Amino acid sequence: MTDTTRERTGTNPDATGPRAEQNWRLVPPRRPHRPDPRTALAVRVGRTAAALSQRFRLGSGGMIGGRLALRVQPDALRRLALGRRVVMVTGTNGKTTTTQMVAEALRSRAPAVSNATGANMLDGHVAALLSALDAPYAALEVDELHLAQVTARFEPSVIVLLNLSRDQLDRVGEIRTVAESLRRALVRAPGARVIANRDDPNIVFAAIDHPQVTWVSGGARWKDDASNCPRCGAYLGETDVEWTCACGLSRPAADWTVTGTGVIGPDGAHHELDLSLPGHVNRVNATFALASGLALGCDGSAALARISGMAQASGRYSTVRLAGRTVRLLLAKNPASWLEMLDLVSGHQRPLVLVVNSREADGYDVSWLWDVDFESLRDRTVVVSGDRALDLAVRLRYAGVRCAVVPTVLEAVGSAAGEGVPDVIANYTAFRDLFARKERA
């Protein structure tokens, strides 16, 4: 792999293999523009607010700094993005991990800023950009429904579309609504390189008409939200094979294909992915990050070295001390991500704690618990806690899983019986609270 970015000049007629006939050109990092006086004032205000928030332990400052900067300069996002190569990462699952992988890939070439705290709306983007005005690169996680607001303000260099599945239906709405929002966002960014998941029909619908798409194939274990054509509603059947709908929408050929140990690149060569982060899902995330880095001129080997060294992403997969025990923290917030995390813990019999809340940031509706394949835990005894522990216990009873309900999460961790480091799978606010407690321990 070389220090280049790819331009496509043709396609491989073999619909199952990587595309061929590609040219490459060198892309040097850009130098960010010096801000105008009003934007410079917004930067000072934002940085001061963020610093005060951190000093008084009110938060990371990843939102308040950007929010106040936008009050001073409503056009701050566009102006702070000028001259930078910005990668926007969106999708239902994997945004935070993939964004941090992208940031690491870009840092193999030059400094890059990122909204590592997960503040993924416009104020979080502004806060990240104002943190280092001279960084030529930015990797920014963006909420699925806010990508259209971003592309209304500026055109990113790269847009990564990971996946779409049901999540927080009381806030986000139906998947078709989100897919249509992504499609409209891409219409406003015809010059961006789009790196998209070809195994998710909803993502295919959103990206298929864009003039510059790189398609990644990593498989799709969660298929319940992708059995019907997002364009016309017709039944698609098995989407892991090549499919074509009568309306014309079809599964595109893959440029990158994730394997059991690595990835096959556009050149047809297999590259091993020796990652510190576990599971197939992170090989998929790493492939999106690698493709993004190459699109912006990173050397492949250097980018992979940075990606492979990541041991956690904003606490995800981290090993911490809680209630006097060393535990591993895993985030799962909807049926698709629970499927991946339950698969990850299926290879061992270590103690297992499950924690579910239903606060505003989680979505109040927990009916999705009945879509999770908890039956895979039938040979284990688990401990459950959180705001909706009783709902979870009822679901586990119907799945035939033995469980103990414990009032507090720290008590749950302490009471989990068995040998080895316990795994704690928690949804968003439960995970956030646990990670914060570890910092105070």
**Sequence ranges of the binding site for Zn(2+):** 229, 232, 245, 247
Structure token pair of residue 243: 């499919």
Question: At 114, phi and psi to the nearest 5?
Answer: -155, 150
Coil vs helix vs strand at 160: strand
d(Cα 408, Cα 357) in Å, to the nearest integer? 12
Question: At 311, phi and psi to the nearest 5?
Answer: -100, -15
d(Cα 87, Cα 106) in Å, to the nearest integer? 10
d(Cα 131, Cα 134) in Å, to the nearest integer? 9
d(Cα 425, Cα 340) in Å, to the nearest integer? 11
List the one residue out of 129, 167, 136, 87 whose CA is nearest residue 339.
Answer: 167
d(Cα 93, Cα 97) in Å, to the nearest integer? 9
The packing angle between helices 64-72 and 37-55, to 10°, is: 150
Residues belonging to the active site: 365
Structure token pair of residue 338: 């629970």
Unique residue bearing structure tokens 């015809």: 190
Asked whether the beta carbons of 119 and 59 are under 8 A apart, the reply is no
Q: Which residues contact 412 (CB under 8 A, 6 or more apart)?
A: 353, 355, 383, 384, 385, 406
Bridge partners, 217 (sequence order): 257
Bridge partners, 22 (sequence order): 8
